[in-house]
Amino acid sequence: MADLDVGAQIPELRTTPDRFLTARYAGASGDFNPIHIDEEFARSVGLPGRILHGLWTMAQVARAQTDAAGGPEHLRRLSVQFRGMGVPEQEVLVTGTVREVSDGRVLVDTVAEQSGTQIIRNAEAELEL
């Protein structure tokens, strides 16, 4: 378990989605929106190419929290704001800072970014220790 005192940084989570991730996640989630699985379609609607599923990115934020807290049973609540598009084959970095500790609960402010652009921001996780 990470140091979860006010002001502490949770351990960074770095992950690089491979080029097939969006196809696998589409199958797992049932979200077959062509912006996630069809390169040509994504470009035709003005995107840089296929983009990551927002919920996959949110799952990486949740993973960073549960790693810091010692397991998924410690995550009580998670809220995020989707603010950018992530793409396959570029590292996603999740960072967080403990904002509050009270009565065995910890609030962590978190962001996920890719290539210096926040794709999730104003995320707040509540962990129970």
| Six token digits for residue 40 | 């040509």
Exposure of 89 in the CB half-sphere (CA atoms within 13 A)? 5
| Six token digits for residue 7 | 């002001």
pLDDT at 1: 76
What the chain holds in terms of domains, given with CATH numbers, is: 13-17+52-128 (3.10.129.10)
Per residue in 40-56, pLDDT tens? 999 999 999 999 999 99
| H or E element at residue 107 | strand 105-114
Which segment of 2-6, 10-14, 108-112, 116-120 scores lowest on mean pLDDT?
2-6
